[in-house]
Amino acid sequence: MHVNRPDRPAPPADSGESPPPWLPDFCSLPVIFAAMVVSELLVLVILIAPTDESQPLLPRLATASAFVQWLALVCVVCLCQLRAPLLRMHPSLALGVAYALILTVVLLGSALVFQLDHQLSLGLTLPLPLQARFLGRNALLAALVGAALLRYFYVLEQWRSRVRAEAKARFEALQARIRPHFLFNSMNVIASLIPIRPRQAERAIEDLSDLFRAALGGDASTRGTLGEELELVRRYLDIEKLRLGERLHVELDIDDLPDDLPMPRLLLQPLVENAVKHGIAGLLEGGSIRLQARRSGNDVAITIQNAFDPEAPSRRSMGMGLQHVRRRLEVRFSGQAAFDAHAEGSVYLVSLRFPCESPIASSNRV
């Protein structure tokens, strides 16, 4: 059993918790891209400023860009390699170490380039007597840009931490929101079945128990699987079928995805419940709910469509459950997921797409 020490960050792969929010992952492409873009913008600002430089702009731009981008990549690589020990430090100390590392890399890199330039007589830097000026100017620019970038990443990670905390709170609220009317209706149906169909009543009690166990257990960081989500949906629909009878028809089309495909917990059940409550239950003749899941490259695409009455007033209050799911996808997949919900005549369509959290194996359905 793994026990997390209080003075060390919990391993995200095991516990699902994120590292301390002040430090970004310098190995990630967005961080590398941001560092390179800011560095290039700095080069452009310096070169387009008024100067007595007689050399053409484009050669100067190419030389300065290559030099600055090289320094930026070296800094990012060093911070990437030192991220684990930095995470074990106090945030203030680690921030100072990261800042000092940036200045050290820039100074050493500038000194190396300056010496090579004069040994090879390339004429790309300042004259030899102005070495201190060259190094000091580069160190000053690195100090300003490094401080701005570290502050930006700090604020960004703090914001993401607050968003994750908000999403977790909403998820926990969603877990506790098994609606009273659904519970009461289910218990009334079960009570009516006991004297005439005791076996169905017993099965309904088991379904209701499993539904509550899944809704109230776990937390926002727990991963589920497609098979678990579908089993939860089936149990929920079995209970609703006892209440709605032949008015509720269900179509599942998910044969090409494996049961062990990882996905966020309680992702499908709220959408299906939304379709029943705001769609099928409001139609005297009932209708169908169709759930389809497909692989699309490295993504999973899921659609849920149901019949509904466009004039029903309950449609106005259905957005909260959809917003919960949308927000959880945004936080869980950092903007790589897509969610859409809209009406097409008398059919309501919900579609979501999110990256596979592990490679999709061949289907294990029979």
pLDDT at 173: 64
183-226 residue pLDDT tens? 776 788 788 888 888 888 888 888 888 777 766 655 545 678 88
pLDDT at 39: 79
Residue 14: pLDDT band with limits 50, 70, 90? very low
- Is 291 within 8 Å of 253 (Cβ atoms)? yes
Q: Give me the mean pLDDT over the 38-66 stretch.
A: 70
Q: Which helix (H) or strand (E) holds 343?
A: strand 338-344
Give the distance between the most distant pair of CA atoms in the chain. Answer: 101
User: Three-state SS across 186-204?
Assistant: HHHHHHHHCCCCHHHHHHH
Residue 249: pLDDT band with limits 50, 70, 90? very high
Residue 224: strand pairing partners: 263
pLDDT at 180: 59
Q: Which of 173, 159, 150 is nearest to 330 (CA)?
A: 159
Residue 220 is given by DSSP the state T
CATH 3.30.565.10 domain span(s) along the chain = 176-355
**Inter-CA distances, 306 with 61, 89, 206, 272, 295, Å:** 58, 53, 26, 9, 21
Please report the DSSP string for 106-130 in residue order: HHHHHHHHHHHHHHTT---S--GGG
More confident call, 364 vs 249: 249
Q: Which helix (H) or strand (E) holds 15?
A: helix 12-15
pLDDT at 52: 47
* Dihedral, 292, 297, 300, 306 alpha carbons, nearest 10: -30
104-126 residue pLDDT tens? 998 998 899 888 888 888 777 77
Residue 42: pLDDT band with limits 50, 70, 90? confident
Q: For the chain, what is the total number of helices (H) and then of strands (E)? A: 11, 7
Q: Is the pLDDT of residue 12 over 50?
A: no
| Poorest-pLDDT segment among 151-160, 196-205, 275-284, 339-348 | 151-160
pLDDT at 352: 92
Q: Is the pLDDT of residue 56 over 70?
A: no
- Tally of CB atoms within 10 A around 62: 11
Fold classification of 176-355 (topology level): Heat Shock Protein 90 (3.30.565)
The CA distance from 140 to 103, in Å, is 9
Q: Is the pLDDT of residue 331 over 80?
A: no
pLDDT at 288: 92
Amino acid identity of residue 245, one-letter, is G
Q: Is the pLDDT of residue 168 over 80?
A: no
Q: Give me the mean pLDDT over the 220-241 stretch.
A: 81
Residue 363: pLDDT band with limits 50, 70, 90? very low
